[in-house]
Copies of this chain bind each other. A is one copy, B any other.
Amino acid sequence: MSRRIACLLFEEFQLLDAAGPISAFEIAERYQPGSYELRVIARRRGAVTSSSGASMNAAGLPSPASVDTLVIAGGSGTRAASRDATLVNFVARCGTRARRVASVCSGAFVLAATGLIDGRAATTHWTRTQDFSRRFPRVRLEADRIFVKSGKFWSSAGITAGIDLALALIADDLGESVARQVAQQLVVYYRRPGGQS
């Protein structure tokens, strides 16, 4: 059965945070048909405007039980999104129901707002680390990692690190060889060493 990947957007999300993982899963599906089913979701169905002004279209929030892997985009909109009770509750319910919950870039703020990664390791965009540590002192921030896995919770560094994160999720599901093919197709380095800043 296809793994249902849901990419969560909100107003002022960072377009590339969403597009990177979506494209990685899209290509993995091309190599191994039937592996993934992608959905773009938001608080309300319709157009969601990114911080670039370009907009993507989303479905509304699905039942958390129907989500295999939630991928939370980052962007300047995380300031509001991480204080939006409906969104944070949705992510929290995914945190108990879904197989994996992953954040890209400052999407870590929305994930951390659930309290579910207190005591766990996580990372975020290198420009947001001080802000993150002040707001979520219980999360063990690993500031210079490309991505961090802690149980079912995954988080990635800034923007394009969402691609590295998605490749790691794909390797977890389909093996290193498929993940490597996806990286080649995307023309990205497979397994960047860290040191995001």
Which A residues form the contact surface with B (CB < 8 A)? Answer: 7, 14-16, 18-20, 22-23, 25-26, 38, 40, 47, 51-57, 125-127, 157-161, 163, 184-189, 196-197
Contacts and interface: CB of A to CB of B under 8 A. Distances in A.
A95 to B, nearest CB: 24
A157 B15 CA distance: 21
Contacts of A54: 7, 18-19, 22, 38, 40, 56-57
A23 B18 CA distance: 11
A104 to B, nearest CB: 11
Nearest to A164: B187
A157 B158 CA distance: 23
Contacts of A26: 15, 51-53
Contacts of A185: 127, 158-159
